[in-house]
Structure formats: C-alpha cells, structure tokens
Structure 1
C-alpha cells in the first residue's frame, strides 16, 4: 500500500510539472521588431483534457489613463470581474459589442469606476464612446495556463498537465499562432507574428454611428 501511495504521489507531481518554452518575434513589413515589442502578446495552453478554471478569480483592473486603456491587452479567465477606474480629469466610457460579452458601463468621471464580469470565453474589444482612439482588448480564457513574454520575447509556461494540447500566441494586430503539441515533450517554440492590422481599427460609437469631431478632444 505504501509503494502504491508513493507511486500515486509521484504521478500527481509529474502531471503538473510539464513546461512549454519559446520565443516570440514580431515582424512589420517582413522586418523584425525590438524583442520587447512582444511583451504585450498572450501565450496560453489549452490541454486536450478538461481543466478546472477557478470559480471566483480575483478582480482585475483596466484603467483609463491619458486617454488610453491600461493595460491595453488584458488576459483573464472566465468569471473574472474587470473594473474600469478613471484616472483622467475628464469623462470616459467603456463599452463593447463583442458577442456574448457585450457591455456598456456608461459615462463616468474620475474615480474607481464600475466593474463588468465576463462569463464567456472569447475576445472582447473595448472602446470609449467619448474618444475614438481608445481601444482595449480583453482575452477571456477557459484555461488557467497563460503567460506574457518577457522583455526579450521569451516565454515559459510551467506547472502544466502533461499531455496533448493547443498552444496559442495571441496579439491584437496579428493572426493568432497555433500549434498542437505535447506538454512536457515539446521542443522550444519559435513563434513569428507579422503585424498586419491597425492599432486603432475602424469602428463606430456605441450607437452604431460615426464619432464626432470632438471624439478625441483634449482635456
């Protein structure tokens, strides 16, 4: 019985000890960018076997500061509540028309702002109805295994369940990169992303109409 118990403990430990490593390099017009440019990307692993996402993830923030959403790209797990504090001395808004995760927290001034809970996996593009140039990105994941590359573009996902799964590297201006591999047995991944999309995509306001001339007015 004791040997069986130790065998079970060793298997449990090895099941969560797999890692996946790699390097993300961004390209613009075929030319590589500085390594730190890749730090905004999101790298996540979706095991083939079902995984458990925390039932009540801790709340996180996407701040409005200097007429920008910060962080510009925010990865969260399903069920996370995101608050939108306003640190500018002007009015802001945060809304999205994304499928299953659409919301509108209204017009609000400087302060802690309102919160929105995201219960469906998917990509949420966030806009401000006051300022056309404000664009944020929330990636709602159904896996707890995600990480951001460091200032050299390197990433390391650790404590993964060993086995098959799908590795994805996501950035708003590039086509997502996919690879099916086996966690714990995969070689280091060399990921190349070509930036082919605009940082501020064409969009309407929350009423489906063009922004007015004052949509990006100063303080």
Structure 2
C-alpha cells in the first residue's frame, strides 16, 4: 500500500515537472516578426522598437556612431542610434559635401567641408532624421534615434526576433507611404510569429530644399 502511494506521488511530481518545463518554454519562447510590403516582398532595414512607456531604460550610449560619406552616398544609408548618442560625419570623398537636416528631431547643418568635422553631433531627441546634401541631390540618408536600447532592424528576409516579453512595438521603414515621422504601432498578443505589412512607395528624387537654404542665408 505504501509502495503504491509513493509511486503515485512520484508520478504526480513527474507530471508537475513536465508542466513547469513546458510553461517555462512557452514563456521564454522568442517572438519572430516578419515585415513585408503590400506586394508580399520582404522588407529589410525595417526598424522595430519596443514600446517602453512604463519602463525607463537605464542605458546610456557612450560610443560615437559614424555616418560616413562615400562615393556621394551616406554610409550606412540607415543608421540607428539611441537618444543622447553622438554621431560623427566624416567625409571620405575627395570632394566637399554640405550635410543638413530639417527634421524636427534634429535640424542641423554641416556647411561645405571635406575630411573630418571638428565635433560630432548629439542626437538628443527620439525620432527620424532625414539627411541630405545641398550639393548632391542623390545623397539621402536616415538616422533613427531610438528612445531606448531595445531597438532592432530586420534582416534581408524582413525578419527580426524579439524577446518573449514584448507586448507592443513600433515599426518604421524609410520607404513607407506614411509620413516619415510616423511609426506603425503593433500590439503583440500570444503569437510567436507575426506578419506585418508596411505600404511602401519608391521615393522620388528629392531636391535640396533650396528655398529653405535661401531663406536662411539671404
């Protein structure tokens, strides 16, 4: 009788252990996001940021990021930094560039220069900063200033893996049809894989905002 009772207790403990294991596995499973355009094509370089309204990140960026200029293009085309991070703008071309942005998150100008600017620029507000060159219309770059360090970028397959604790994220892409300052808010429920569609368009060649420069330099 005692032996049967001990066997029953052992069996119940075994089931309990298995249940706890699978519960832990379910809680610890990562979340895979797949970002695509309206035609079902994968969207690499989509930025996914965890919404941390109720959590203050203790992360303090200390490294200086680099947005280079190579062959009349910004390199990289998309740079992700954290709020408060510095960005250096070396000019690796053998011609001068005039880098600027009129974006609300960080308006600035680096007037005609070559080589290394004197000081990096601090990006102290979260948001999207669109870069241009007042000399070369084809030079377009983007700096995504994240509000915390929980920010990710999709790979060539449009995929990104998030922590299991993610509940709400924002998604942004430089080719989105929505205003560049807008971010799509996604609520994550119990899915371990989620497909997200971003409507995109091929950007027209931007001018150099010459009228704004003229107004400022008359």
Of 25, 32, 37, 1:26 maps to 37
Specify whether residues 132 and 42 from structure 1 end up closer, same or farther in structure 2 by C-alpha distance, changes over 3 A only: same
Of 52, 70, 76, 1:71 maps to 76
On the 8 A contact 2:79/2:143 being kept in 1, the answer is: yes
Specify whether residues 209 and 59 from structure 1 end up closer, same or farther in structure 2 by C-alpha distance, changes over 3 A only: same
On the 8 A contact 2:32/2:194 being kept in 1, the answer is: yes
Specify whether residues 136 and 181 from structure 1 end up closer, same or farther in structure 2 by C-alpha distance, changes over 3 A only: same
CA-atom RMSD in angstroms: 2.8
For 1:89-104, what aligned pairs fall within 5 Å after superposition?
89-104=94-109
In structure 2, distance between residues paired with 1:204 and 1:50: 38
For 1:146-161, what aligned pairs fall within 5 Å after superposition?
146-158=151-163
On the 8 A contact 2:57/2:148 being kept in 1, the answer is: yes
Deviations 1:47-80 (Å, cap 9, x if unpaired)? Answer: 3422215223311111101111111111111001
Deviations 1:18-63 (Å, cap 9, x if unpaired)? Answer: 7432111234xxx343x4xx22211111134222152233111111
User: Could you tell which deviates more after superposition, 194-203 or 51-60?
Assistant: 194-203
Q: Does 1:81 align with 2:92?
A: no
TM-superposed CA distance for 1:84, in Å, is 0.9
| TM-score (normalised: structure 2) | 0.73
Deviations 1:151-187 (Å, cap 9, x if unpaired)? Answer: 22211123x7x364x31221111134321235xx443
Q: SS of the residue aligned with 1:89?
A: coil
Unaligned 5+ residue runs, structure 1?
A: 1-16, 211-219
Q: SS of the residue aligned with 2:186?
A: strand
* Partner of residue 187, structure 2: 180
Specify whether residues 187 and 44 from structure 1 end up closer, same or farther in structure 2 by C-alpha distance, changes over 3 A only: same
Unaligned 5+ residue runs, structure 2?
A: 1-27
Of 168, 171, 181, 2:170 maps to 168
Q: Does 1:121 align with 2:126?
A: yes
Where is the strand percentage greater, Structure 1 or Structure 2? 1
TM-superposed CA distance for 1:106, in Å, is 1.9
Specify whether residues 144 and 168 from structure 1 end up closer, same or farther in structure 2 by C-alpha distance, changes over 3 A only: same
Structure exhibiting the larger radius of gyration computed from Cα positions: 2
Of 104, 107, 116, 2:112 maps to 107
TM-superposed CA distance for 1:82, in Å, is 0.6
Where is the helix percentage greater, Structure 1 or Structure 2? 2
In structure 2, distance between residues paired with 1:22 and 1:48: 21
